[in-house]
Amino acid sequence: MSVRTIQYIFWRARILAALIHGKQLTLFLGQPKFWSKFNFYLKNIVYPDYQFQSNYHTIGKHQLHYVDEGEGDNIVMVHGNPTWSYYYRRLINLLAPKHRIIAIDHMGCGLSDKPQKYDYCLQNHIDNLDALLQHLHVEKFSLVVHDWGGAIGMGVAGKHPDSIKRALVLNTAAFCSQQIPLRISICRWPVVGKLLVRGMNGFARPAIAMAVRKKMNKDVAMAYLAPYDSWNNRVAVSSFVEDIPLDSGHPSYDTLCAVEKGLEKLQQKQLPMMICWGGKDFCFNDSFYKEWCKRFPHAEAHYFENYGHYILEDAFDEIAPLALRFFEGQE
């Protein structure tokens, strides 16, 4: 038997083990010490700049994690995929001295429960955020949205247009589109998609490099990945990818259309909006930026040509003073 054949069998055995047992997939031959240290690090990590008290709200049989820091006007921060509330850590620290910051971890994400038999659809994410805000008696609020957070946050805002005061929009969408990069489309393929995303962590792990233009600090990168350290813990990451509604036949298409329709109410009330956009985003490219500017021509727009999808990682120093000024304008 040739060495190549042995290697082939070894790789397939590791894939099968991951599929059966839901364990961290280790495919890099000859580097067991590296992966042993990596997995130990994930289990013992302290999240840099994220020393917030954990709060939980029960939805059905599951626990939804959220951050609730500071006092004052409410600012609700809604993350996307494959991030979690950690994405907003520096913005929370910046704004919490004068505002109440609520940052959700969607079901299956971050420090929330990760049920294996759960419908991780757009409507449920919208309903979960809405339920959390009602539980916290939040009547008026501003939004910060990124990635999937745009559709989820604006989905709630469209239901309660009189409740929302301001919105900071960061590389996201809340309207229908048929655009999808090939590298994400592959993650939706039957069998292959789950193997890549859940088995090989082929969505969250590449994002720590591909979604930024400035190299992430190692501890920060590990914090992003920590909640998604196994097949089971990546269930929502995979489900979010599968839930991208590209056509009318998709189960979440009507929900996204309703979110888009809700934007009209926010346009009519001239919702104060600031758009901060990374121009090197391979997913939410310039066409999405132009669409936001078209729909909200009164918005204050800042385009950062050389920054990526995780705009708060690349451009936080530039965005921080803009955010402080923008949210200081709340009445």
- Ranking 11-20, 183-192, 297-306, 312-321 by mean pLDDT, the lowest is 11-20
Region 46-71 average pLDDT: 95
The two structure tokens encoding residue 276: 């901060």
Give pLDDT, residue 30: 35
Give pLDDT, residue 46: 72
Return mean pLDDT, the chain. Answer: 89
Give pLDDT, residue 330: 60
Region 100-108 average pLDDT: 98
**Sign of torsion over alpha carbons 314, 171, 135, 228:** negative
Percent of the chain with pLDDT over 70: 86
228: which residues sit within 8 A by CB, 6+ positions away? 82, 201, 204, 234, 237
Region 183-193 average pLDDT: 89
- Fill in the amino acid letter for 272: P
| pLDDT tens-digit series, residues 220-234 | 999 999 999 999 999
Query: Comparing C-alpha atoms, which of 236, 232, 257 is closest to residue 120?
Result: 236
pLDDT band at 7 (very low <50, low <70, confident <90, very high): very low
| pLDDT tens-digit series, residues 12-43 | 444 444 444 444 443 433 334 444 444 444 44
pTM of the model: 0.87
Give pLDDT, residue 45: 55
The two structure tokens encoding residue 299: 């918005």
Superfamily of segment(s) 45-328:
Alpha/Beta hydrolase fold, catalytic domain (3.40.50.1820)
> 134 vs 28, 103, 127, CA distance in Å?
47, 14, 10
| pLDDT tens-digit series, residues 106-145 | 999 999 999 999 999 999 999 999 999 999 999 999 999 9
DSSP annotation of 197: I
Q: In whole angstroms, what is the distance from residue 215 CA to residue 220 CA?
A: 10
Region 200-215 average pLDDT: 96
Distance of CA 170 to the CA centre of its chain: 11
Quick one: angle between helices 253-268 and 122-135, nearest 10? 50
Query: Comparing C-alpha atoms, which of 314, 291, 289 is closest to residue 302?
Result: 289
Q: Residue 186 burial (CB < 10 Å; 0-12/13-18/19+)?
A: middle
More confident residue, 46 or 163: 163
> Which DSSP helix (H) or strand (E) runs through 143?
strand 141-147
* Other Cβ atoms closer than 10 A to 24: 18
Q: How many CA atoms lie within 13 A of 255 on its CB side?
A: 19
pLDDT band at 244 (very low <50, low <70, confident <90, very high): very high
**Sign of torsion over alpha carbons 245, 115, 190, 194:** positive
Query: Comparing C-alpha atoms, which of 182, 201, 173, 188 is closest to residue 263?
Result: 173
Give pLDDT, residue 17: 44
